Amino acid sequence: MTKPWVSAVTNKMPWLDRVTNVALKLTGPLVGEQAPRSLKDLLVGVPLGHPLHPAVVAVPIGAWTSTALLDMAGEDRAADLTVLLGLASGAFSAVTGAAQYVDATTEDEPRRIGALHILMNSASLTCYGVSSILRATNRRDAGRIAAMAGYGFVLAGGMIGGELAYVLGIGVDHAAFERTPTKWVDVLAEDELLEGQPKRVMARKAPVVLYRHGDIVYATGATCTHLGGPMDKGEVDFSTCISTCPWHGSQFDICSGAVVHGPAIAPLTAYQVRQQEGRISVRAMPD
């Protein structure tokens, strides 16, 4: 299968790994593993139930598109204001993007594409920053040229970001297409599920993880919605009813499947459990 052209190009640019390392070091204190969980959850979009980055990038893109049109119309004051609006919102967009990027994956391909995305957007911010200075010092023609260069970087960065989301699935729900059963499905003998040891089973075509705590059995989807991590390989704390993905530390409530902490945004599927005649059956919770 032929790789998309962005992947083909970045695979030949190993120096992008250095960009990744620098970006992670710079953003680590704010959005890395040691960052406050509540802040990181906010930046990735956990309270929204939707990734925050694609929602906020519309503001700088819209502002700078307006700049291009206002420059052509000769509306200097309005164009200057939209440049500034784009710079302020673009800086915030960069922070939300960093929060998503730091937990994106450890594989070279998406890391390098993400690094190229960072470079394009950094170049756009730089161009618009220079444009704002030139406009403020009455070098308006040069300011317009810098803004148009910045807009080119914005478009390139957006296209590369689309590659990450729509081709590599960064930021999408990795359990979205699982066909969860709505009727009871027999999955396991009761004596095969041991206390405190998560067990992965198949409910028809849907992977499910079972947890036993005393006489109670919990069941959720076995695929972490963040990047598809195996929830049955993670840790579970029955005192809080929280299961942790072993890949990037996303935490879920095993009773409801709700996200407790990101980087996951979408919840796990929650299952009803029936124990009958020595067998365990599950079905998806009704909406």
* 174 in any annotated domain: no
pTM: 0.87
- How many domains does the chain fold into? 2
Residue 125 lies in a domain: yes
pLDDT tens digits along 4-48: 677 778 878 888 889 888 888 888 888 877 788 899 999 999 999
Q: Are residues 209 and 69 in the same domain?
A: no
Residue 250, domain CATH: 2.102.10.10
Residues 154 and 234 in one domain: no
C-alpha angle with apex 262: 260 to 264, nearest 5 degrees?
105
DSSP state of 267: P
pLDDT greater than 70 at residue 2: no
Query: Residue 207: helix, strand or coil by DSSP?
Result: strand
In a domain, 102, yes or no: yes
pLDDT surpasses 80 at 136? yes
Which of residues 115, 136, 167 is at a domain's end? 167
Residues 77 and 161 reside in one and the same domain? yes
CB 179 within 8 A of CB 155: no
The DSSP bridge pattern shows strands 271-276 and 259-261 to be unpaired
Task: Dump pLDDT digits (tens) for 164-218.
Answer: 888 888 889 999 999 999 999 999 999 999 998 999 999 999 999 999 999 999 9
pLDDT digits (tens, 9 = 90+) for 244-271: 999 999 999 999 999 999 999 999 999 9
146's enclosing H/E stretch is helix 140-162
Structural domain that includes position 119: 5-167
Mark residue 154 as left, alpha or beta (left: phi above 0; alpha: psi -120 to 50; beta: remaining). Answer: alpha
Last residue of a domain, one of 115, 140, 167: 167
pLDDT tens by residue, 64-108 = 999 999 999 999 999 999 999 999 999 999 999 999 888 877 677
With respect to residue 17, please indicate whether it lies within any of the assigned structural domains: yes
pLDDT for residue 20: 87
